[in-house]
């Protein structure tokens, strides 16, 4: 599935606040998408909880597929 450049929705699978990294399970299916603290800070989000709904834009970067922009859904 091509995800580059489009927002989609999903749920937080898990988030490690100490490491500042987590994963989103997309509603459309496919692989879980990692997100990192800088994407949260850019959106003004301080923390997220397991199962919380997010909208996100995923891109392929140096670490593979990653959510580069997120917002509360």
44 lies in a domain? yes
* Cα 70 to Cα 68: distance, rounded to the nearest angstrom: 7
Structural domain count of the chain:
1
Report yes or no on 62 lying in a domain. Answer: yes
pLDDT of residue 62: 86
SS3 content of the chain, % helix, strand, coil (to 5): 10, 55, 40
Q: Domain of 63? A: 7-72
In the numeric block, which tokens belong to residue 36?
Answer: 């990192």
pLDDT confidence of residue 63: 86
Q: Is residue 59 part of a domain?
A: yes
Report the DSSP pairing between strands 64-72 and 53-61.
Answer: antiparallel
Evaluate if pTM is beyond 0.75. Answer: yes
Q: Residue 25 falls within a domain, yes or no?
A: yes
Tens digit of each residue's pLDDT (9 = 90 or more) over 30-64: 999 999 999 999 999 999 999 999 999 999 988 89
> What confidence tens digit (pLDDT) does each residue in 7-24 have?
999 999 999 999 999 999
Pick the residue with more confidence: 4 or 33?
33
Rg of the chain over Cα atoms, rounded to whole angstroms, equals: 11
Q: Is residue 2 part of a domain?
A: no
Q: Is the pLDDT of residue 4 over 60?
A: no
CATH number at 49 reads 2.40.50.140
Q: How many helices (H) and strands (E) does the chain have?
A: 1, 5
């Amino acid at each position: 599935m091509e995800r580059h450049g489009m927002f989609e929705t999903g749920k937080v699978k898990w988030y490690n606040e100490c490491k500042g990294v987590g994963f989103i399970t997309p509603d459309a299916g496919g692989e879980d998408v990692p997100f990192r603290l800088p994407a949260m800070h850019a959106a003004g989000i301080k923390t997220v909880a397991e199962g919380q709904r997010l909208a996100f834009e995923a891109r392929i970067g140096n670490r593979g597929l990653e959510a580069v922009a997120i917002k509360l859904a």
